[in-house]
Amino acid sequence: MKRTLPPFLIPILIGLAFLALPYIFAPGGFPGLTQLISNPHERTNFLSYLFMLVFFYVNYYVLIPKLYLSGKYILYVTSVVGCFLVIISTVVLLDRQDLLSGSFPTAPRFPVPRGPVPGGLHQKPPFGFELSHALFLFLVGIFVSLFLQINNRWRQTEQEKLATELSYLKAQINPHFLFNTLNSIYSLAIEQSDRTADAIVKLSSLMRYVIRDAGSNQVPLAKEVEYIDDYMALQKLRLGDTVQIEYASSGLFNGKQIAPLILISFIENAFKYGVNPEEKSIIQITISLKENNLRLYVFNKKVRLFHNDEASGGIGIENTKSRLQLVYPDKHTLTITDNPTGFAVELILNLA
């Protein structure tokens, strides 16, 4: 399974890498850290890196979300330039104080001997070099934090778009189920069948699932199979012995999750296009779970139809195909076999 770092950990790791970057590329490398005690200028440099790190987090968590992503570009640039000037001014003042005292303000002051530093032990680089070095680190911090925030915003937008599209598809599917189920009960009522009351009980169970559970992104697989069981029972009540219905489910469904109503459209389609009281109608449905692989197989013998649903008949299946591409893009295999005598669907889902 592909593992990704938690979102909050990424800027922390990048910040630590940002702090280590100057020492990675420094001539002395990390051993140069030992000079923090003896070299006041090295301590000032380290403090400037800490200031840059603080700016990185301020820019990432405050300036970019509040100003840049809100379209307040002038205020954002002004704030960034102001931060840079404050950091540089502070570092210059500390560097000057170190030059005069040879240490930080909290340490005892010692007179600085006149003349060049013997042997060039703690020779100070030119100010222009230090300024360009600081500007480079500052710009790196800006661009990295901008990249992270813009990438996060893009991912968030994609997730919201996905959620909206899934809600739209489910909103189309749910009324489709209700319409066909009511048609089934209507047929029983017309016949004044004793099975009408049982059918209404099954319908209430179906609608309870649709209203309470189907709005979630994931539902227990056991509930989804139970929903299909009720749907099959409702169809058997309606059709009686006029249709040869073979239905079986096997596997340990508890503990697994699945996108709601992802299977029912294929089953519903079989009853819609595979039932004719004047012909031998055959519908075969199996649901099986082996480890993390769920298999749905649906077959219906083709019969003559007395209603013209060709235009609307594919709505449920087409929407389910779209949902499969969105929810299980690399975790499903859908095989549809359409021949003159029958229509078969095999769906394999990886629920891992």
| Boundaries of every domain in the chain | 9-108, 170-350
Q: What is the mean pLDDT of residues 68-83?
A: 92
| pLDDT higher at 34 or 149 | 149
How sure is the predictor about 267, in pLDDT bands with cuts at 50, 70 and 90?
Answer: very high
Residue whose entry in the numeric block shows the structure tokens 């030119």: 126
Separation between Cα atoms, residue 52 and residue 145, nearest integer Å: 12
Q: What pLDDT is stored for residue 116 in this prediction?
A: 46
Q: What pLDDT is stored for residue 325 in this prediction?
A: 86
Q: What is the mean pLDDT of residues 48-70?
A: 88
Residue 6 in this model has a pLDDT that exceeds 70: no
Q: Is 219 exposed, middle or buried (0-12, 13-18, 19+ CB in 10 A)?
A: buried
pLDDT (tens digit per residue) in 215-240? 788 999 999 999 999 989 888 877 77
Residue 315 in this model has a pLDDT that exceeds 70: no
Residue 64 in this model has a pLDDT that exceeds 60: yes
Asked if 216 and 170 touch (Cβ cutoff 8 Å), the reply is no
| pLDDT higher at 75 or 163 | 75
Residue 279 in this model has a pLDDT that exceeds 80: yes
Q: What pLDDT is stored for residue 222 in this prediction?
A: 95
Q: What pLDDT is stored for residue 40 in this prediction?
A: 63
Domain boundaries 170-350, corresponding CATH code: 3.30.565.10
Provide the whole-model pTM: 0.55
Q: What pLDDT is stored for residue 12 in this prediction?
A: 74
| pLDDT higher at 271 or 119 | 271
How sure is the predictor about 285, in pLDDT bands with cuts at 50, 70 and 90?
Answer: very high
Asked if 297 and 346 touch (Cβ cutoff 8 Å), the reply is yes
Q: What pLDDT is stored for residue 310 in this prediction?
A: 47
Residue 61 in this model has a pLDDT that exceeds 60: yes
Q: What pLDDT is stored for residue 1 in this prediction?
A: 42
Residue 104 in this model has a pLDDT that exceeds 50: no
| pLDDT higher at 253 or 307 | 253
Residue 113 in this model has a pLDDT that exceeds 50: no
Residue 248 in this model has a pLDDT that exceeds 80: yes
Residue 127 in this model has a pLDDT that exceeds 70: no
Q: What is the mean pLDDT of the chain?
A: 78
Nearest to 249 by CA among 223, 268, 272: 223
